[in-house]
Amino acid sequence: MSLRIAAAIAAHLSGALLTEQSTTAHAPAEHMAAELASQPQTWARAAELRAEQAQLPARGARIAVVGCGTSWFIAQSYAWLRESGGHGETDAFAASEAFVDRGYDAVVALSRSGTTTEVLQLVGELRDRVRTIGIIGDESSPLVDLADTAVTLPFADERSVVQTRFATTALALFRASLGEDLTGAIADAERAVAEELPAVLTDAEQYTFLGRDWAVGLAHEAALKMREASQSWTESYPSMEYRHGPIAIAAPGRVTWQFGEAPEGLDTDVAATGAHFEAGRLDPMAELVRAQRVALARARAKGLDPDSPRNLTRSVILDA
């Protein structure tokens, strides 16, 4: 890590610690519950941010989108939507495994915290070589100064360690920037926040999330959310990969949860195993909200606090 980046992180962290000390105690999962429920509003707000959307790479640009954890999965969804919509070649990489010497016109770096080491390192290495655009939750973070362009979404930043609304709000911004009308997705999110969850979803022994196209990234994110918040056993795959081995795990008391339209016959294949097939009927981003609620319900039932989960921190900051 360069001295410049390390110093910026140290300065940021000393500020963050002061903020933390002045924070009053809160009930377990209080932040995650509130942040999760606010997603219809934060998506609507992102859809309105025309100036911020205009900062994203123009139509025709060849780009890569990078991030870690949740942000990497959102990068995958954006990449699929952008390229399939005819806006230009778009690759998605984990920041630690990115091939960025491919003549890209720009690299988009997604990070709620703006402090994730692998993201800062990559953006630092690209300085003066490739235009970088940061999509960032914390507007006082080091990534804001390091990226050539910073698009900040402070209204979607979060107190919970487990991310919910920043990730989906960034994707709402991306979708709107590609010309999509989010009215239907927002209405679906309102349903996802309000409707009761069936016990077959909250009480299962194991979960496999599936998606096609842009929903593959969201299936991976749902599985990560369930692990992070509730320590549940989850897996995730592109839907058509499920029959190629992973279906071996399906059994009574377990859930196979499809985001978006299911491949022909998959529901009957899963039913034959005795597992529950959840055919997600909402916009896949709203279906993710339902999975976040299952994660929250399971965390509460187990006495866990997803605002500060075991073994996790808000971002991964590695030693210099």
Task: Give 153 or 176: the residue with its C-beta nearer to ligand F1P.
Answer: 153
User: Binding ligand F1P by CB under 6 A: which of 35, 52, 158, 228?
Assistant: 228
User: Binding ligand F1P by CB under 6 A: which of 76, 111, 169, 234?
Assistant: 111
Distance, in Å, from the CA atom of 283 to the CA atom of 290, rounded to the nearest integer, reads: 11
Distance, in Å, from the CA atom of 16 to the CA atom of 211, rounded to the nearest integer, reads: 37
Binding mask 143-182 for ligand F1P (x = CB under 6 A): ------------------x-x-------------------
Site for ligand F1P in 64-93 (CB under 6 A): 68-71
Task: Give 167 or 270: the residue with its C-beta nearer to ligand F1P.
Answer: 167
**Is residue 119 at the binding interface for ligand F1P, with CB under 6 A as the rule?**
yes
**Is residue 112 at the binding interface for ligand F1P, with CB under 6 A as the rule?**
yes
HSE at residue 74, side-chain half, CA atoms within 13 A, is 28
Residue count, binding to ligand F1P (CB under 6 A): 16
Rg of the chain taking only CA atoms, in angstroms: 19
Copy the structure tokens of residue 13: 């962290």
Q: Find all residues with CB under 8 Å of 45, minimum gap 6, and list them.
A: 155, 156, 169
* Distance in Å, CB of 70 to ligand F1P, minimum: 3
**Is residue 316 at the binding interface for ligand F1P, with CB under 6 A as the rule?**
yes
User: In whole angstroms, what separates CA 65 from the centre of its chain?
Assistant: 13
Distance, in Å, from the CA atom of 218 to the CA atom of 221, rounded to the nearest integer, reads: 5
**Is residue 132 at the binding interface for ligand F1P, with CB under 6 A as the rule?**
no
Task: Give 100 or 161: the residue with its C-beta nearer to ligand F1P.
Answer: 161
User: In whole angstroms, what separates CA 149 from the centre of its chain?
Assistant: 21
Copy the structure tokens of residue 168: 């989906």
Pairing status of strand 131-136 against strand 106-111: parallel
Contact residues: ligand F1P, CB under 6 A: 68-71, 111-113, 116, 119, 161, 163, 228, 312, 314-316
